[in-house]
């Protein structure tokens, strides 16, 4: 069975500082890993994904994530946070034989203060 954990309910960061949102996963096979962002009263927006290849993945809005197989982690990062990055972030995992079903984490609320 696949699962994903986001250990932090909320992350607070000052504008201009680095932002990290943590995600760890558990799968029996090779993972497909994803990050989504949800702004208030909106659906989920795709940020980036890891399927295979380079462990450092770059995505939308200046975000990137690093796949670490030994630590089973896929942390989301942004070098310099903006107030507009304040939103709810979800990590998700899909196993290759899961019939396309994703397992979503509980979500991490990011609050960027001016």
Partner 1 sequence: SAVISQKPSRDICQRGTSLTIQCQVDSQVTMMFWYRQQPGQSLTLIATANQGSEATYESGFVIDKFPISRPNLTFSTLTVSNMSPEDSSIYLCSVLVETQYFGPGTRLLVL
Binding site for partner 1 (CB under 8 A): 34, 36, 41-46, 49, 51, 88, 90, 92, 99-102, 104-107, 109
Tokens of 15: 């504008």
Query: How near is the Cβ of 109 to partner 1 at its closest, in Å?
Result: 7
Query: How near is the Cβ of 77 to partner 1 at its closest, in Å?
Result: 20
Nearer to partner 1, 80 or 112 (CB): 112
End-to-end CA distance of the chain: 41
Closest CA to 98 of 27, 18, 15, 39: 27
Query: How near is the Cβ of 16 to partner 1 at its closest, in Å?
Result: 26
Nearer to partner 1, 9 or 70 (CB): 9
d(CA 25, CA 93): 7
d(CA 49, CA 42): 20
Nearer to partner 1, 49 or 77 (CB): 49
């Amino acid at each position: 069975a696949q699962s994903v954990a986001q250990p932090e309910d909320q992350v607070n960061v000052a504008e201009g500082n680095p932002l990290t949102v943590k995600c760890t996963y558990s799968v029996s096979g090779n993972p497909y890993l994803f990050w989504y962002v949800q702004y208030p009263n909106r659906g989920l927006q795709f940020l980036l994904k890891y399927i295979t290849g380079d462990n450092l993945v770059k995505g939308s809005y200046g975000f990137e994530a690093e796949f670490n197989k030994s630590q089973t982690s896929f942390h989301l990062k942004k070098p310099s946070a903006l107030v507009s990055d304040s939103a709810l972030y979800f990590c998700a995992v899909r196993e290759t034989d899961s019939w396309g079903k994703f397992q979503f984490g509980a979500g991490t609320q990011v609050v960027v203060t001016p």
